[in-house]
Amino acid sequence: MVMARHWYSSSPVVDGLRLLYEPGFWPAHLADLSEGHPPEAFGSDAGDAAAMLDQLHNPSAWPMFTVPLVGGFTIVLHYNSGEEFTTTDYFLTHPDWGQDLTLASDDQDRIGPGLCWPELTALLEAPPGAAGVTDLHTRLLLLLPVLGDAAVPEEAVTGVAEALAAQGAPEASETLARRLLQGHPMWGAADWWCDDDEQSWLCEGDHSPRKVPLGDHLSPQQRTALEACLTPR
């Protein structure tokens, strides 16, 4: 079962921000989504990608990445390396909440997808003066494992290809971009629809936490703030 965020306080968590700028990060982070595409498709060396996987799966230092959002929200990504395997957990947090929301987790219970394409595009621009992962292209690639949308537009392929190129991938990366947009192999791409009454996108994926409105236990004021965060500006 996905580890609740408060349990990480007693775990060997380290800031993973520096890893974003090291060789081999992207083919390592997106390894599950890019099956069939070698590290060279990302513009990386296979040895660098293998070394980065060792860092991401280090049982004595669990990398954490924070993606600041508008309204005080944050998406926090935790790598969780146990004795047998490593999982990744994505949480949506707010300092005024008593409980974090799990967007996705690739542990044995498989939770995802947690975002549709319109929501992901709303999260790409960082608030002014924010700390953490702020680059638009980096945010897109870092959050791709949470995505699982069967109706991504053609502009999504262009956006992911541009993000890959910005991180050093060859310019002809459209094939890789299309593969990454097919969703995590644990849950794939699913159909989404927007429920205006619930102020939330809903997902038909069997393993998605979004089969019910996101934050349906929150107060109306908090739900309104959450909707504003996830709505393209």
**What pLDDT digit, counting tens, does each position of 185-230 carry?**
999 999 999 988 888 899 999 999 999 999 888 888 998 899 999 9
Q: What's the predicted TM-score (pTM) here? A: 0.95
Split into its structural domains, the chain has a count of 1
β-bridge pairing 62-68 and 74-81: antiparallel
Q: Could you read off the pLDDT of 92-117 as tens digits, one per residue?
A: 999 988 789 999 999 888 999 999 99
Q: What's the half-sphere exposure (Cβ side, CA atoms, 13 Å) at 218?
A: 24
DSSP state string for 20-64: GGSTTHHHHHTTTTTTT--GGGGT--HHHHHHHHHHHT-TT-EEE
Which domain covers residue 51, as residue numbers? 5-229
Helices and strands, number each (H, E), in the chain: 7, 7
